[in-house]
Amino acid sequence: MQPIKLYNFPRSGHAHRAELMLSLLQLPTELIFVDLAKGAHKQPEYLALNPFGQVPVLDDQGVILADSNAILVYLAHKYGNGRWLPTDPVAAARVQRWLSVAAGQIAFGPARARLITVFGAPYNAEEAITRAHDLLKVMDHELADTPWLAGTEPTIADVAAYSYIAHAPEGNVSLEAYANARAWLARVEALPGFVPMPRTVAGLQTTA
């Protein structure tokens, strides 16, 4: 098959979600760098792909999709053979819950805290860090009873949550108190086909 094109920015956790899913599914992929620093995401040709001017964008043989979670759902449905997104109503709802968390608590907690330290975003650091720890307490508690966020097998819920949780220390959010969450991160990293997101020396992350 022809490579699937992924328009990405390597330090974007949203873009990494899609890249990770493509790799876990062992799909041939062409990564297309979008230079956010130079405003490439606001140029007319890119806005034609995603009017919101965000990464990632997926081009699967002319099927154009934006939004990282939407891309995960699409890839799981088309290429996952039922493994990454269950069809059982309760199991599917559990996955959807964590996709919502990824777009909510994760985005406004650890992701926003990292935006401040890595990209100089003008947000309230104390508020973002507090939100991140509130989220991590819930995650850590739930991961005491299950190896994966939505059950006994990995799903796109884990892919959606991984990137910004793994890189939370870059936003001055320590993971030290969350042993279950750290064990979960290690399980994600042990999956066949796992690819990391580049680390930055920011916040509590002292080595890249």
- At 171, which amino acid appears? G
Q: What is the per-residue pLDDT for 208?
A: 62
Q: Based on the domain organization, do 178 and 116 belong to the same domain?
A: yes
For the segment 27-37, what is each residue's pLDDT rounded down to a tens digit? 999 999 998 88
How far apart are alpha carbons 50 and 186 in whole angstroms? Answer: 33
In a domain, 196, yes or no: no
Among residues 79, 108, 142, which one ends one of the domains?
79
Overall number of domains in the chain: 2
Q: What whole-number percentage of the chain has pLDDT above 90? A: 88
Domain membership flag for residue 44: yes
The helix (H) or strand (E) run that includes residue 4 is strand 4-8
Beta strands 29-33 and 4-8: pairing type? parallel
Residue 92, CB half-sphere, CA atoms under 13 Å: how many?
8
pLDDT digit string, tens, across residues 106-115: 999 999 999 9
Residue 129 and residue 166 in one domain: yes
Structural domain boundaries enclosing 100: 89-189
What the block records as the tokens of 93 is: 């709802």
Q: Is the pTM of this model over 0.85?
A: yes
Largest separation between any pair of C-alpha atoms in the chain: 48
Decide: 99 and 157 in contact? Cβ < 8 Å: yes
Residue 47 pLDDT > 90: yes
Q: How far apart are alpha carbons 184 and 118 in whole angstroms?
A: 24
What is the residue-averaged pLDDT of the chain?
Answer: 95
Give percent of the chain above pLDDT 70. 100
Q: Is residue 103 part of a domain?
A: yes
Q: Is residue 195 part of a domain?
A: no
pLDDT digits (tens, 9 = 90+) for 102-159: 999 999 999 999 999 998 889 999 999 999 999 999 999 999 999 999 999 999 999 9
